[in-house]
Amino acid sequence: MKTLVCFGDSNTFGYDPRSYIGGRYPPEERWVDLLADALGLKCVNRGMNGRCIPRRGEGLRLAEGEGLIVMLGGNDLLCGSTAGECAELLREFLLNCTLGGGALIIAPPPFKRGAWVPEDALVAESRRLAPAYAALARELGQGFADAGLWGVELGFDGVHFTPEGHKSFAKGVYGAVKALLLGKESE
């Protein structure tokens, strides 16, 4: 594998929640850039602030040798979707993708109470993403990782990674990529 396409929302983009105009952390603090440095691979950052899981038959076309890391669902939850609905939307999206080198589906770290997460019910629903995405990954024969196990620090809003959170996330995703995506090359 020569390239990893990292497709996600504002946490993939590297959004700095202290910025009210869409600013982002510097490259040395963003998980995608940290992962690229650790792996020695090209990692394409396809994160976008506010991105929900694509709908209406949208998909990505990846070339042979390109792997996909996808972490989505947080914005869908914030807009009222359930974890089950997120898994179904992600299933439809992935079925519309051409996956050259396979995919790693990452369940985002669960929310915590904060400026964007005023209710415990939303925190509880965010915890349901990991089991729903794990089942989806098994169904599709793709890799899965639960970022809720990586000790990712979230900022005051309860949603976005802090710089330390990006470091923890990069370390966790590095292990998952080495085991799941790059391990397929040696088979």
pLDDT digits (tens, 9 = 90+) for 11-46: 999 999 988 787 999 999 999 999 999 999 999 999
CB 73 within 8 A of CB 146: no
What lies within 8 Å, CB to CB, of 29 at 6+ separation is 14, 163, 166, 167
What lies within 8 Å, CB to CB, of 55 at 6+ separation is 89, 92, 93
- Report the 10 Å Cβ neighbour count for 63: 11
How far apart CA 33 and CA 14 sit, in angstroms, is 10
**Percent of the chain scoring above 70 in pLDDT:** 96
How far apart CA 102 and CA 155 sit, in angstroms, is 31
Average pLDDT over residues 121-140: 98
CB 77 within 8 A of CB 43: no
User: Is 95's pLDDT higher than 50?
Assistant: yes
Q: Taking the CA atoms of 122, 95, 141 and 160 in sequence, report the sign of the dihedral they define.
A: negative
Token representation of residue 115? 């400026």
Rg (CA), the chain: 15
pLDDT score at 187:
38
User: Is 182's pLDDT higher than 70?
Assistant: no
Least Cα distance to 72 among 160, 10, 156 occurs for 10
Average pLDDT over residues 162-171: 98
Token representation of residue 53? 């899981």
Does residue 157 sit in helix, strand or coil?
coil
**Percent of the chain scoring above 90 in pLDDT:** 84
